[in-house]
Amino acid sequence: MKTALVTGTTSGFGRSIAIRLAKLGYNLLITGRRNDRLEELKKQLQADYSIQVMSLCFDVRDNEACTKALQNLPELFNKIDLLINNAGLAAGSSPFQESELADYDQMIDTNVKGLLYVTKLIVPGMIQRKSGHIINISSIAGIEVYPSGSVYCASKHAVNAITKGLRLDLIKHGIKVSSISPGMAETEFSIVRNHGDEEKAKAVYAGLVPLNAEDIADTVEFIITRPNHVSINDIQLNPVQQANTYVSFRKMNE
Ligand code: NDP
Ligand code: 8X3
């Protein structure tokens, strides 16, 4: 039985990915900061699937907490075959000149440094076993920069650079490194980005059918079920009504 660690499983993509991996028979390490949600998901997964689940409540921005949670895992969970770096966020949707330093720190510390902290702890075991797969959840924001998104886009451009760098350095150890770069997807992402303003969050998807978390779980399943000799480097997926970060075709009042 294979083991997967998925960060950010209390909501959105991470939650759906964890459920999908459970269906595929993976033992799971699920993580996030909201322990009530983690415990609820753990119960659900254990009830619905014949797998082992360990929940780890920590903030990926805190390297000491990452180390404490991930360094001395019990035997059953300490051979991680699949790492999905999903925990992340955008904070704020204002032009640079009106945006907050605290939001920059949160995005860079979570999306970039948090991903590095977790990956640094998991890679040595993969190297030792000469196998493993890392999937980083990036974004279309890692490919195109859009107005009022400079720091979020910078963080996802960094994720893409790290993904490519890891692929170069880990090739000799037989470790696959992939990324997924979705466009607009409706999760709690937009509520978090707009600091809890649900009306503003909803307006982001007005007149179009956004991606959903299941679409990302489908993408993960596709990537991990390719033959051993195939590496999917990146999948960029959008809603049909979103051509790129600038051009969407919205059908209003229909
Ligand atoms: P959600 O807000 O629904 O989920 C985000 C998850 O990340 C939560 O489980 C949250 O858990 C976790 N998380 C956030 N900060 C931290 C932290 N400091 N420490 C630990 N866990 C953290 O958003 P999505 O599911 O949409 O986002 C998942 C990923 O997908 C992110 O990296 C995002 O940038 C990316 N993405 C999202 C898109 C979208 O349009 N929705 C499109 C492209 C990429 P908790 O709060 O419990 O800690
Ligand atoms: C989230 C998608 O388009 O808001 O990464 O940047 S977008």
Interval between CA 111 and ligand 1 midpoint (Å): 9
Q: In whole angstroms, how far apart are CA 135 and each of 98, 160, 184?
A: 33, 11, 19
Residue of 5, 10, 153 with the most ligand 1 atoms within 8 Å of its CB, for mutation: 10
Our answer on whether the CB atom of 86 is closer than 6 Å to any ligand 1 atom is yes
State in Å: Cα 253 to ligand 1 middle.
30
Report mean pLDDT in 10-residue bins for the chain, 254 residues: 98 98 98 98 97 98 98 97 99 98 98 99 98 98 98 98 98 98 98 98 97 99 98 98 96 78
Q: Is 187 in the pocket of ligand 1 (CB under 6 A)?
A: yes
d(CA 79, CA 61): 23
Distance 146 CA to ligand 2 centre (A): 9
Fold of the domain spanning 3-237: Rossmann fold (3.40.50)
> What distance in angstroms lies between residue 12's CA and the mean position of ligand 1's atoms?
7
What residue segments make up the domains of the chain, in order of their start?
Answer: 3-237
Tell me if 8 CB under 6 Å of ligand 1: yes
Q: Residue 252: what pLDDT?
A: 86
Q: Whose CA is nearest to atom 6 of ligand 2?
A: 141
Counts for the chain of helices (H) and strands (E), in that order: 9, 7
Question: Which residues fall within 8 angstroms of residue 113, CB to CB, at 6 or more apart?
Answer: 61, 63
Q: Which residues are catalytic?
A: 152
pLDDT at 254: 60
Query: Does ligand 1 lie within 6 Å of residue 133's CB atom?
Result: no
Radius of gyration of the chain (CA): 18
Ligand nearest to the CA of 155: 1
Does residue 216 have its Cβ closer than 6 Å to ligand 2?
Answer: no
